[in-house]
Structure 1
Amino acid sequence: MKKNWNISLPKILAMPLTFMVFFISFSQINAQDCPALLNPLNGSELVPLNSTIRWQPVTGVPGYILSLGTTEGGTDILNEQNLGASNSYTPSTGLPENTEIFVTITLFFFNQPNIVCDSQSFTTARLSEAPECTTFNIPQENALNVNTATNITWNASVSATGYFLTIGTSMNGGEIVDNLDVGNTLSYNPTADLPEETTFYIYVIPYNRIGLSVGCSPSIFTTAPKADLPFCATMITPFDGETNVPLSPVLEWNEVPNAIGYRVTIGTSPFESNILEDAIFFKTSTIVIDFEPNRTFFITITPFNNAGDAIGCSQETFSTLLGCGPYFDPLTGELQVLNPEITFPDTITVCLDNESNIISATDQADGYRWFKVDDTGNETFLSSSAELSISEVGNYIYEVYSVFEDSGRSFECSTSKKFTVEASQVPVIKNILVTNLANTSNYEVLTTESGSFEYALDNENGPYQDSNRFNEITLENHTVYVRDKGGCGIVNKLIEQDLMVEGFPKFFTPNGDGVNDYWQFIPPLATGENNVLNIWIFDKFGALLAQLAPDSVGWNGNFNGRALPESNYWFKAISNNNKVIKGHFSLKR
């Protein structure tokens, strides 16, 4: 079952090599537009010259581009270095002394313009002493069989602003290079190949304005017989700087004529090899399975032969497909995802007596998947339509997905949720509580068992509602219907309003609204026969307030032209067979 991006253990095909791609799950928080410097802090002073520059990571930003300069927005120290997802950078040759350094961070995106942040700055410390001696990288100390076309590289010396280089065939010799000022660099490529099978002495003396390093020892190595190193290779697919690269691409580079193999290093920043480190290939292409989406990858291809490795091969970059997100949207300041939203309920009830229980998707999407989950958590695929026929209770998974086209390729973003199917039953009406108001009534329907029921009034076909309450219902007989949502059945009950005592209302509301403004005898609906001769109305003390004929409009609640207050009143009536009818009613305003 596919859930969003299926990040697994990537494998290089046809090779006994496995490497892990870690997928970073971004938290849904409010991303800020631009990060603040963490080290050195913006505006700080006396910053060490070998400081690592570090800033706050921004959630949802796939990469950073860094520039360093001596003016705001300047690039004279570092010109738009792509760092991938790394939020730190250590200048290889250190920082200039007593200088205000401006740091410009650019937020890199695949699907929208980059965001160039305002420059922040700090001021470096002033030099106080000469630099210390350095150490060598290539060739290594006392190395043998060094290729005659080798380059010379060394490590940076803290506070050095330049280096003097000497190369000779004796301890104090300078036949190849004699005390050459190579500037503030960490490598030197001899103008011609070195003599073969010869021992060389190399001195690298760091200096700054205070002075030179003192007591530095030479590095000694011996060259091999004459041999030709291969040239460097370059990427064909993806090409250097390409974006929207598929997550499982074919990596291909040009063939180098005298190479017998290629060393491939891949990392998520220029300084890492966390994907591949010097993996050896004997062909010029390979397939990589499941790169992480929304990342920039840094790749170096180094051809080699029996003479050694190609020298000075440059690093190239490519960026993977946008994927489903989350990614930062600078227009809204929020994280965006391409996965569809789900409104499907947590619980579904079905009537197991039905031959077919059909449940339907609640969301618009390009596709659907349904799964049954057993007691051990194993998932069984059921259907890929928008509807599913349910035959048993238990746990299920509902999945929807959207398909997107990008750079001529399609990819899928999905969202899923687990839901439970429960058995339903025929509803049984236990009671209907009726609350009579002035001109209306409220109903509350009670069932013997709780279930997934819905309710309607006076019409079996609805409309139905989830609430078991009906408010402000007219004062007449009504029928309440209760239906099981799982299709187990419908029941109903008639509510007869007992508002009369042999045709005499229990209350009236003389408020001038044209409804129930007069109290009067009402002949029974069944016969329509008026069998009342005279009616008398009394207050609670027995005082006569009115005498009515049964065919009059009725009593309006007044006595001697004055409206009487809300209260209970009594009546007595004589029927045409001399039967005495007594009772009471309420006057409400």
Structure 2
Amino acid sequence: MKKLIIGTFLVLMGNIVQAQDCPNLIGPVDGATNIPVDTSITWENIPGVTGYVISLGTAPNGTDIVNQRAVGSVTTYDPPLGLPENTEIFVTITLFFLNLPDITCPSQSFTTGDVTTPPLCTTIRSPLDGTTNVNSASNISWNYAPTATGYRVSMGTSPNGTDVANNVDVGNTLTYNPPADLPASTLLYITITPYNENGAANLCTETTFTTGAAATLPNCTSLITPADGAINVPLTPFLEWNPVPGATGYRLSIGTSPFDQDILENAVFDTNSTFVIDFEPNRTFFVTITPFNAAGEAIGCTQETFSTILGCGPYFDAVTGELVFLNPEIDFPDEVGICLNNGGTTFTSTDVAEGYRWYKIETGGSETLISTSSEVELSELGEYRYEAFNTAAQSGNTVECPTSKNFNVVVSEAPRISTVLVTEQVSGLRLETIVQGVGSYEFALDDINGPYQDSNIFTNVPAGSYTVYVRDKGGCGTDEERVEQDLTLEGFPKFFTPNGDGVNDFWQYIPPVATGEINVSTITIYDRYGKLLAQISPSSRGWDGMVNGRLLPASDYWFKAISLENREIKGNFSLKR
């Protein structure tokens, strides 16, 4: 499975989601070739995913073949019109969640093969052969004929007749909407002929159906209450929708996801309202209402939603289109230290919330409340629980929405800097602070007010002198150390001035004064991007700041030297003009 990282962590309803798997294609597999155009697309099942949405296109993330088709929880999809031949097809799977943002996975692809024969005939899906009393406003639909790229429709009032539709080319679609209502109370004969670039299907079977008396399908309706997208809906709501002229009844389906009808499934009502008992709190519900009459059902009625909230969410915000939580977000460390020999230590929450509670977790798991403000004074080691909460007035009640986390209190003391180790590297200085003491410490450079970091190592620091600050996170104290950077590193000057005045015009290794012995073999010089500029011998005059007769600008440059003991020495220096 592919891993799609969606954050270091997301805290949602007390659950921590660290990463989400994306499914691999099972058939055809990613990169497959010569795939039939009528293939089914299958992918791995991912536990915890509410449903899948699939897109197919001729480019990565493309939707020109299939655009964001929701398929529910199944992991197989049959493209309704097949696929184009000799084409690389990109498959994009989107993971649908009710309580998390959707996740669009990286596209995978396969390539279809060549089609060399005409398609076979298709079968009529609606109206079925021999059906009677068919609504005269009905459309004609049929099943996909593998390899077909288009269809022709003939329909008449006699066998092989074409007086209603004369070999109409409807293109690559599976429905035909006659430009006018079909003749009422009439036996009709229909033939669907698939075709592709290799020719048309041969001798397709004619089917028949009989229309009923003239009638009109009802239109769709919409919710009055709760309105589409409504929130804070009571748990026993009164559902009402707009009445539709000519409708004799309504089919009502309600589900807890766009793919389910687990509350009501096509329940029939002869009025435009009903009570629904005991909805779940904190859920979004998906509603479809389809009016019908003797002519049939309304066509293309859309799904609507509303959300209940007797609790803390998530609920759907129709304005932003996002899920909203009433629980506060909290940010408190897993561990804090209290100062030795200093009584209690006060900690203050910076989280935005209506109320706060702090608990001491006793042996055996019981809890003792020790503070109800944003501040708490801690003087004992052990495990604690911090809780922040908001409140909401709902249906005459006040609901509390808390967020909490456990943390540990440990011993802490003022830090004591033993030393600061300074290492020169090509990218600058590396400062490592060695600290003594028991505590949770943080580190800053050159400013006692920070910013502070948890790491005791600073890298890529420009050459110079610095003050390192170390402080205890629990407020037990601060220590500092001044770092004075030497002008040379093992005999390598920190700068030179090649201006032709005869002073310091060359950059070169300087042997130790005590011995006068040259203890390096080769020296190479680079610019800040690692490009090799020069290689000099330690016994030469040195580098004059030029490359191929061209003066290089004043800047910082880097060197690497190899000692006679085969030790690598790295550092940097400045060219000044």
- TM-score under structure 1 normalisation? 0.48
**Greater relative contact order (Cα 8 A, min sep 6): structure 1 or 2?**
1
- TM-score under structure 2 normalisation? 0.49
Greater strand content: 2
Name which one, 1 or 2, has greater alpha-carbon Rg: 1
